[in-house]
Structure 1
Amino acid sequence: MATPTRKLGLTLPQRGAFFGVLTVPELVETGHFADESGAYDSVWIGDSLLAKPRPESIALFGSLAAVTRRVTLAVGCMASFPVRDPILLADQWATLDQISQGRMLLAVCTGIVKAKDASEREGALYGVTDKSRAGRLEENIEILRRLWTEDNVTFHGRYRSFENVTVLPKPVQNPPPIHIASNPNPAYGYERALRRVARLADGWMTTRKRPEYLTKLWPAIQGYLREEGRDPENFPVVAYHNVNINPDQDAAYEESYRFLGEYYGPVFTEEDTRYWTAAGSVEQVIAQINELYEAGATEVTLRITSWDWRRQLKLLTEEVAPAVRSAG
């Protein structure tokens, strides 16, 4: 059976707690609202320890798992994955999967942040270099899957070695899905990164900073999946996207650009913002989101890039989400 299409997620803007968008308790309340509304299939949060600080993901998931009953709870991406202890993380994630009754989805990435050597400085505290992050990501994926499905696990890798380890409780899912978030620039070499997705991941997550991040990279992944003997039709593709609903489209883009500047620092250009944001009237936003599905996304998760997030959440839930879902 092919992967269901047209899933829709809501991304909670954790770092907005640092610049007056919403409080940490409101993050939890919004997750509860998304679950109760029936408009969303999933609720997403981000993750980073020190490179891009935010309310910590595992702790936040504990609250979200307790106040939701239906939606998938997903992290995209877990940038701290290469520096976390995989045995502890396997235990934490299995417990969350038990609390949520099998609704956890882990999307991992290398978490490399070149600006101000942020990830190098973060990793130095754990003996993790940027150069080792990709290798650690691969190794940790294998460790988690084995600990979630086996007892008395012995593992000898390049970065971790242990003997006779059993993690209890086991998760409800057998095992929970692990996606890889990977966005190599299509203008440069991307084969290694995308082959990793095809070889190891249960799904792919992308941020479409340019159209070709979907239109070029997804066909490449499809080819690598076939080489691995895997069916692209059953492979989830999650587009992590922004949204700003405002009849004045230029004003919507301008606010999103300021919002992302506060959220990440001066990383994204105005052009990046326009490609990475569905902006404008309700009708314009619906059309732009539909383009993501048409380019190959099976799920789109949306973060509101506005300080007027309550009004926009109402519009997104009551007008945008139903139209997008019905179009599928």
Structure 2
Amino acid sequence: MKIRIGYAPGVREPQREDFAALVTGLERLGFDSLWVTERATGVGGDPVALLAYAGALTSRIKMGTAVMTLPGRQPALLAQQLATVDRLTGGRLLPAFGLGQRREEEHQAFGVRRNERVALFEELLPLLRRFWAEDAVTHHGARFHFEGVSVLPKPVRGGFDVWMGGSSQAELKRTGRLADGWLAAFVTPAEAAAGRETIVRAAAEAGREIDPEHFGATIPYRKGADVPEERLARARAVHGPAPLDELVPSLDGLEAHLRRFVDAGISKFVLAPVHSPADWEAELSEVRDAALSLQT
């Protein structure tokens, strides 16, 4: 089991001092990895730039995208970009991809229509894997055409274990067919267990097998009783008026909440505060005391 921290700056742009305190604190206190969100039309910043900066400040922690939008990106350039960061950080990159947020402004930012995202994703992900593994790629698809194109550098391990997000039935089945792991978000332990079963079944039908340790979840947590409703909007859209503790556990109840996910077959956790910490060193110390004892 691994405890990871998710970075979302809340309502303001990334601040160098805050971000540096976060990543160096993760390394010093023994957390497994840093995961950054993506919203092109929000304040979070570019995920690859954030991870490159984090890699320059650290030497041990792994770094992932939770999750990175794939439709709308050029596969050869993205393959090179991610492999370069992986090379320069000693093989510590963990890419996770998704269709992108369900917002019209996000679709406009990536230059895609909502109804074309799935077809793009299914063409893009296999192409990325080929660019990372093959010397020269020839491909003639519905959207992309390459003739003997070589992309360098290659990732340290010759490729990545690619994780995917999403919780709809279609997204879960796609994860089973195409991915090496699943990072759920805004799900209850029961929903995580059901999603895991769907993915395992879809993988078997496709003649594949996903490592049992490659099932994770992003868990937002709160300190105190009040949570700004705007920070709960996405969870409410999925679950409606579910109990607050089912959506955003308190820090005091975090360990018990995570144990329920472990019982559901989930072993990787990205913990994300719903508030914007004023002091990351103090924040990480509190999270360490609340949950890091579960890490194996």
Same fold (TM over 0.5): yes
The answer (yes or no) to whether the contact 1:241–1:302 under 8 Å persists in 2 is yes
Cα deviation, residue 235, structure 1: 5.3
Counterpart in the other structure of 2:248 = 277
User: Of 151, 157, 165, which residue of structure 2 is paired with 1:181?
Assistant: 165
> In structure 1, what is the equivalent of residue 265 of structure 2?
296
2: CA distance between counterparts of 1:265 and 1:235? Answer: 25
Q: Note if contact 1:197-1:204 (Cα within 8 Å) is conserved in structure 2.
A: yes
Q: C-alpha displacement at 1:199, in angstroms?
A: 1.1
**Match of 1:216, SS?**
helix
The residue that corresponds to 1:140 in the other structure is: 124
Amino acid corresponding to residue 46 of structure 1 in structure 2:
T
What CA distance in whole angstroms lies between the structure 2 residues aligned with 1:160 and 1:272?
A: 45
Q: In the alignment, which residue of structure 1 is the partner of 2:191?
A: 213
Instruction: Name the counterpart of 2:155.
Output: 171
Q: Which moved more, 1:227-236 or 1:40-49?
A: 227-236
* Separation in 2, partners of 1:245, 1:285: 10
Match of 1:187 in 2: none
Q: CA deviation at 1:265?
A: 11
Question: Could you say what secondary structure the match of 1:278 adopts?
Answer: coil
- Provide the rounded CA distance (Å) in 1 between the counterparts of 2:33 and 2:99: 23
Give ranges in structure 2 of 5+ residues lacking alignment: none
1:49 paired residue number: 40
Q: CA deviation at 1:60?
A: 1.0
- In the alignment, the residues of structure 2 paired with residue 266 and residue 217 of structure 1 have an alpha-carbon distance, to the nearest angstrom, of 19
Instruction: Assess, with a 3 A threshold, how the Cα gap between structure 1 residues 226 and 152 changes in structure 2: closer, same or farther.
Output: closer
**Secondary structure of 1:239's partner?**
strand
Following TM superposition, by how much is the alpha carbon of 1:16 offset from its aligned partner in structure 2, in angstroms? 4.3
Aligned-residue Cα RMSD (Å) equals 2.4
Mapping of 1:287-326 within 5 angstroms?
287-308=256-277, 310=279, 311-317=282-288, 319-325=289-295
1:33, CA displacement in angstroms? 1.2
Question: Unmatched 5+ residue regions in structure 1?
Answer: 1-5, 185-189
Offset at residue 133 of structure 1 (A): 0.8
| Aligned amino acid, residue 196 of structure 2 | W
Structure 1 residue 224, shift from structure 2 partner: 1.7
1:202 to 180, 188, 198: 180
Percentage identity across paired residues of the two chains = 24
Q: Displacement, 1:259?
A: 4.1
Aligned-residue offset at 1:280: 4.8
State how far apart, in whole Å, the 2-side matches of 1:111 and 1:58 are.
15
TM-score by length of 2: 0.89
Residue 154 in structure 1 maps to residue 126 in structure 2? no
8 A contact 2:4–2:271 mirrored in 1: yes
Instruction: Give the letter aligned to residue 102 of structure 1.
Output: G
Cα distance change on mapping 1:238 and 1:265 into 2, 3 Å: closer
CA gap of 1:272–1:148, structure 2 versus 1, over 3 A, is farther
Aligned pair count?
Answer: 293
Cα distance in 1 for partners of 2:98, 2:107 equals 15
Q: Which amino acid in structure 2 is aligned with residue 44 of structure 1?
A: W
Say whether the 8 Å CA contact 1:207–1:213 is kept in structure 2. no
Which of 27, 33, 38 lines up with 2:19 in the alignment? 27
CA drift at 1:240? 0.7
